[in-house]
Amino acid sequence: MLERQVIIAARNLCKTYSAGNEQYHAVRNVDLDIHEGEFTVIMGNSGSGKSSLLYLLSGLDNVTAGEVYFRDRRIDQFGERELSDFRAKNIGYIYQSINLVPDLTIWDNVTLPGYIAGQKKEAIATRARELAHTMGIEGQLGRLPSQTSGGQQQRAAIARALINSPDVLFADEPTGSLNYDQGVAVLDLLSGMNKDGQTVVMVTHDIKAACRADRLIYIRDGKIGGILEFGKQGDMNTNDREALIFSFVSQKVRV
Ligand SMILES: Nc1ncnc2c1ncn2[C@@H]1O[C@H](COP(=O)(O)OP(=O)(O)OP(=O)(O)O)[C@@H](O)[C@H]1O
């Protein structure tokens, strides 16, 4: 087997939130490697710290303690400007709540991060047209998000996350607000991009969605509760994979 390249590494990662006099330890001493080209899925109960972990790995939030490396660069020590430049160029993020800017058209939403990353107008437009075609939202580009369906908004959010051809695409429950067919279409898009080499890290509650994983990480109380490795196995059918994930997750929930 080829040696897997680590693209993001977390060491002894901690996140503590303060609310009034109380402190909440959402991420506790996590050591984790994300491999280049893999489809990593993160599962765990509600409130277990999945989104918090994603924010730290992607440089969207500051760590309380510990280290985050992107290849050989230590991003938790970046200043604000360096961090936002890093995020714009290297990271794509699909938020749990879609998060399109309501008074910008779909086109403007999709292209905005291109301008933030300092790309040329023509290059942004070419990439945006290409992504709109792949995502099937060409007919919606002139509309406001409120004039499109949830599935179209989610596909626009994916296009926006991909406009700068990021090294890593993070997706926080990208199918959470979609109906079954829309959800499958979005997962097919993510799987297709992964087959073409895109590194994907996705949080989901859905076992069927988790079947897309090469590697499944289970989070419990802010810690890694277990890791299930599939690799790029074409030989395991979806039913067997689903049964394996179900038994893995059920066991982790019970422990
Ligand atoms: N800004 C914040 N301030 C205080 N506590 C927070 C904050 N953000 C998250 N938390 C708490 O940290 C814990 C982990 O939250 P997080 O959103 O990471 O969980 P999650 O596993 O993604 O949950 P879900 O599956 O419900 O989205 C929760 O108990 C949450 O209430």
Taking only the tens place, the pLDDT of each residue in 46-74 is 999 999 999 999 999 999 999 999 999 99
Q: Quote the pTM value.
A: 0.92
Query: Is ipTM beyond 0.90?
Result: yes
Going by C-alpha positions, the residue among 196, 188, 199 that lies closest to residue 161 is: 199
Going by C-alpha positions, the residue among 80, 66, 78, 60 that lies closest to residue 166 is: 60
Give, rounded to a whole angstrom, the gap between the first and last alpha carbons of the chain: 32
| For the CA of 49, the nearest atom of ligand 1 | 18
State the DSSP string of 155-167. HHHHHHHHTT--S
**Binding-site residues, ligand 1, Cβ < 6 A:** 17, 19, 24, 26, 44, 46-52
Split at pLDDT 50, 70, 90, the class of 120 is very high
Output the residue whose Cα is nearest ligand 1's atom 18: 49
> Mean pLDDT over residues 90-97, rounded?
91
Output the residue whose Cα is nearest ligand 1's atom 7: 17
Homologous superfamily, domain 38-62+79-254: P-loop containing nucleotide triphosphate hydrolases (3.40.50.300)
